[in-house]
Structure 1
Amino acid sequence: MFPLSFISNFINLQELQFSFNSNEDFINFGTLQHTSFSQLKILKFQRACPRNELLIKFLENNGKNLKEIYLCEYTGYCDNSINLAIARFCPNIRKLSIGIKNNESETLGIIFINCQYLESIKIWCGGEFLNEKEALETVVKYSQNIYELILYYQSDAQFELLPIDLESFFINWTSCKPHKSLSLVIVNYGTGSLDANDENMEIIKKYIKLGVTKNFKVTDFTDE
């Protein structure tokens, strides 16, 4: 088991990143939950996360300074209590990567309301996670400063967004209070995507031409 207590000596850390494969590897994370890292701006968990109560306490002590939070980039970790803790304790974040379960879309709305400076969000979609329609509807309804939206899909997820829903998203986006031009990125495992539908692509090209969307990209998990 890798000891983590030594990290508490580096109180001026600006970035803290973990790549453990199991939450059991965070058995010593409790030694950090009460440490205040006044300069910490980026917190990233590539795979597993610590136990909920430990991570929530860590966010309570350090969340105000955080500008970027990435939760389980490779696994789509999803826990409502952690997501709500981010909304409560991390009001100044600019970039966020999370999973939201398909019956917890209201949590995403709470995050947007409480984290008013949020500019870029990466959301896992499909399966147990929000479908793309719910994600887009929540973004357009509650976000305030978002300019980059990244939708991550599970390996077996299929795109279900209809052209009428995509058009509705862009119409609502343009009718909201002024937003920056939106970058929309789709990340998948090579399954059928938005670009496979000609009507979807015509809609996207239309709003790129209008300046509503400045960038649309479909890629996969091998593209950093």
Structure 2
Amino acid sequence: MTDFPEPAESRPDPVEIRGFLHFPGWLDLQEQREMVADLRAVAATAPLFSPMTPYGRPMSVRMTSAGRFGWVSDRRGYRYSETHPEGLPWPAIPHSILSVWRTVSGSARMPECCLVNFYDDHARMGMHQDRDEADFTQPVVSISLGDDALFRIGNETRGGRTQSLWLRSGDVLVMGGAARLLYHGVDRIAPGSSTLLPNGGRINLTLRVVT
């Protein structure tokens, strides 16, 4: 599959929300469908799994990864790993996903991890910071596919005023600069708000430079 074209005039301008750059509707429906097909190939090589937190509780999302590194969690803690829990290397990040990074990230480096999170109707993601990477000057790029998600943005420490926005299928979000270490999470999913995934749910991709 070839890369998506560079953004044309029809591509949306970003909206800044507490330092996050939100590109609503960045991917059109055909691009979303092609990306989902690429992700099915990723999951065929590196199956989705339900990670366990270090506290012994299962996370509500299922996940897998692509790239040099994947993200795993178990009793040993949260960390990056070069192998899937079944022991195999992660598959390469699809070109359709890398093209989004090239266009919106502003980084000269390429992502080393594409974390794939699948949310069903009841899945959530608690407020957290992305700080397991070595270089915080590198952004995190998020791509939303499928059902809408209520995304919450916090502060550099827990607590305080937060702001929420709905992320819809095809949206892209860039977390960099002063927003790189802000707490953030997903409060809920809106079931049936998208027909992209035949059985419903939401896929969220986060692209990161790890080293």
TM-score higher than 0.5 here? no
Report the structure number with the largest CA radius of gyration: 1
Whose relative contact order is higher, 1 or 2, with alpha carbons under 8 Å and at least 6 apart? 2
Point out the structure with the larger helix share: 1
The normalised TM-score by structure 2 is: 0.28
Point out the structure with the larger strand share: 2
The normalised TM-score by structure 1 is: 0.27
